[in-house]
Chain A
Amino acid sequence: GEDVEQSLFLSVREGDSSVINCTYTDSSSTYLYWYKQEPGAGLQLLTYIFSNMDMKQDQRLTVLLNKKDKHLSLRIADTQTGDSAIYFCAETNNNDMRFGAGTRLTVKP
């Protein structure tokens, strides 16, 4: 079946930029999402991108989509300790939705 993969861990220093990467296999994806999960909480939608877009920027967040390579990334500028969480990428083709395993972002002071 279709798959979504992302690296499991990322550690950065406060103030640096964080880049979380994700690859997927479904060529019929329509929307791609980034979610944040804080301890004990459900998913929080951070941002999403439509599959015909290359880039989307929202304050400190920048999403880049390379549809040819099926590669999605989330860049967090000026990373803060409050950004420490697990980040999930997900994609949908309007029939169902698939998630990556999540990337644990640790921000060191």
Chain B
Amino acid sequence: GAVVSQHPSWVICKSGTSVKIECRSLDFQATTMFWYRQFPKQSLMLMATSNEGSKATYEQGVEKDKFLINHASLTLSTLTVTSAHPEDSSFYICSATQGIDTEAFFGQGTRLTVV
């Protein structure tokens, strides 16, 4: 199947700093990318949907200014956690699709720990 690469896999940062997570589709053009967050012992929560070249659509309760999403090209979307706090520590995962009614392929996920 298609490959989605997410980087970094693990990151530890200090409170107040910003962290950028990249999601790349390596062998296909991803018109839509989804960003999810997983809280410990819970299921995934959809944070936002991003379409190439347009602003991301955020789910209710997700702070747009806190979680900046950029989908500047058909192969790259980034999630920046700004002014990170310990409560932002979580597992973040992206998925990418080529378009409506196509399969979604997942990145490996990023474990963020804010200290």
Contacts and interface: CB of A to CB of B under 8 A. Distances in A.
B111 A37 contact: no
A48 B40 contact: no
Interface string A1-37: 0000000000000000000000000000011010101
Interface string B24-48: 0000000010101010110110100
Contacts, number: 51
B103 A102 contact: yes
B67 interface: no
Contact of B34 (A43, A92, A94): A43
Interface string B93-107: 101000011011110
Interface of B is mostly: strand
Interface residues of B, number: 23
Nearest to A30: B41
Contact of B44 (A94, A97, A101, A104): A97
A45 B105 CA distance: 16
Given A39-B101, A43-B44, A96-B111, 5 more contacts: A42-B34, A42-B36, A43-B34, A101-B105, A102-B103
12 contacts: A30-B41, A33-B44, A39-B101, A42-B46, A43-B44, A43-B104, A48-B43, A94-B40, A95-B111, A96-B111, A97-B38, A97-B93
